[in-house]
Amino acid sequence: MNTRICALLLVFVATAASAEGMEERLRTQLRSTTQQLQALQSEQAQASAARLAAENQAKQAQAQIKQLTAELDKARGVAEQLAGQQQNLHSQAQAQVAASNEQIGKFKKAYEELLVLAKGKEAERARLQASLGERDTQVQQCSVKNQQMYGVAQQLLAAYEKIDVAEVMSIRQPFASSARVKFEELAQGFGDDLYKSRFDAPQATANH
């Protein structure tokens, strides 16, 4: 009986000790589980925060993508507009170059025509200058001849002034040959002087 009681007591003590050890293990496991749960909750909170941050970043990135896309489309539009303007400017520049070349060709042709005309005018001027020189020479010669004729005329008048009535009457006499010869010689001399004083323009030009 006592032995059985002792055995039961031992079993109870052992059971109690085992229960206490099990309870301690359960508490330890509970604490560990609680800590893991807290860690998981903390990680979940961090994950939620990270997810929210990622969603916000994704939204910002999408907004930036939309903005950049709009700017890219705008830039493409501006680039296409600039390309069109550049093409127009290039076409206008080519047209202006062609017009300038055509105008230069016209100016060059006009210059060549004016140069030919100027050469012709210069040749005409030289010819007229030479002709004017010839005319000046002829005028000078004519003036000299006029002075000579004027001198001969004065001599003739002086000679006629010196002839008196008696000499004229003696010239008309049939036998006054000496007076007639004298008068004829005098007239011949005046005629020769007048002939020498004559001015022939074509002959003067040919001799010049």
pTM of the full structure:
0.35
The closest alpha carbon to 16, from 32, 30, 24, belongs to 24
pLDDT at 147 over 70: yes
What is the CB neighbour count within 10 angstroms for residue 144? 12
Tens-digit pLDDT profile for residues 105-143: 898 999 999 999 989 888 998 898 888 888 888 878 877
- Exposed / middle / buried, residue 134 (Cβ in 10 Å: 0-12, 13-18, 19+): middle
Which position has the higher pLDDT, 180 or 89?
Answer: 89
Distance CA(156)–CA(190), nearest Å, equals 7
DSSP state of 200: -
Determine the pLDDT at residue 67.
92
| Cβ-based neighbours of 194, under 8 Å, separated by 6 or more | 149, 152
The closest alpha carbon to 171, from 159, 162, 180, belongs to 180
Structure token digits, residue 97: 């170059």
Determine the pLDDT at residue 131.
86
Tens-digit pLDDT profile for residues 24-56: 777 888 888 888 888 888 888 888 888 888 889
